[in-house]
Structure 1
């Protein structure tokens, strides 16, 4: 998986929407219902905030629908297997329709509706846990991710603070809900998505104007590097 994909690199970037987007291959997985529950949550939240990707999703759905129509008649058992790969389209039309036709979020804390449904409330209801200097977190109860050593968490980072430098033993997707952060030369603000894989080493730092709140999802444990890497790795292992 590519480290960071900007689906709208060919378009003008404006303050009206995100500039770092869900990759096309993940949109296809989302449309066909083959994306994991955790990553589907991130995709649905991004779609709620991103008019560009809602437009891209329509194109992906049209392509997938065309592929279904072109399936050559086969014996029933084989046909069922062929169609099964696209069965998720119908099953996901509700969430997609909601995301595609979403209006600017009117909730006071600006949470996308798919995330609000998972939380059963807003940010005021989140029971934050201290996770280090300038960092608070809240783990969402998604058993499959935890069994693989990954996580699905809300992160709240104080202005100017950041996560320790780290690499990845799997894939990671981060969606900015409010505020923003930098990672190297890249800047991520509300609605932006950053995708990192084992080839990426970074140290996200919250911007100075306000706290940064993100939805962060990993498939496998992070591997902290730098001078204090060993300490952070041990701390993460025992606090999981």
Structure 2
């Protein structure tokens, strides 16, 4: 797998610090399970955080240690091993890495897709029982040649490609790539292969569609 698009440093740091909303954290954790480069970046950030803790006053250290323990509880999912081997062991019967598999109702091939527009379907995913933070988490399927309406973002959006690929103004995104987008970005992804493009998408605020028809659909589909 040749991953060319990675999680931004600010997003990775928020993930390490435990301040990233849960929906976005699921996408980051799923990407980390298949991306050795980003796992190495996370390991470096953890080391830096550890050094800062060592330099803290004793009273502050106790509180910080408690905070870190909460952040990295169940650490295999939050911070996968930073080697270069594919983490195939994390792929269950669902056909996706473990952080996402834990939230899948069935395999990726058997998802009960809900139609949004001709050739475009989605499936909302439940967040963890803790319900931490805000945002939405969903799977999106784009048929070959189909285009997502032009939109920007009122917050952050993370899109991880699980199968197929799409192309937009930022380049070509294929399996394993992640698009880390903020409110400065406007784009119009189009599936560019003969296969469906299936993505895992998390947002912490609603999208902002440009077209009148698309804006009418937004409250109906909750995106």
Same fold? TM cut 0.5: yes
1:192 aligns with 2:174: no
Aligned structure 1 segments of 4 or more residues deviating by more than 6 angstroms: none
Kindly tell me the number of residue pairs found equivalent between the two proteins: 217
Give how far 1:124 is off: 3.1
**Structure 1 unaligned runs (5+)?**
1-15
Pairs within 5 Å for 1:148-227: 150-225=135-210
Cα RMSD (Å) of the superposition? 2.5
Pairs within 5 Å for 1:85-164: 85-98=67-80, 100=82, 103-105=86-88, 110-142=95-127, 150-164=135-149
Write out per-residue CA displacement over residues 15-44 of structure 1, whole angstroms, 9 at most, x where no aligned residue: x33111112222222223232211111111
Query: Aligned to 2:37, what secondary structure does the other structure show?
Result: helix
Instruction: Tell me if structure 2 keeps the 8 A contact 1:64–1:86.
Output: no
**Structure 2 unaligned runs (5+)?**
none
**Structure 2 Cα separation of the partners of residues 188 and 38 of structure 1:** 21
Give how far 1:209 is off: 2.5
**Structure 2 Cα separation of the partners of residues 141 and 92 of structure 1:** 19
Normalising by structure 1, report the TM-score.
Answer: 0.80
Using the TM superposition, name which of 84-93 and 30-39 deviates more: 84-93
**Structure 2 Cα separation of the partners of residues 53 and 185 of structure 1:** 20
Instruction: Tell me if structure 1 keeps the 8 A contact 2:54–2:61.
Output: no
Give how far 1:165 is off: 0.5
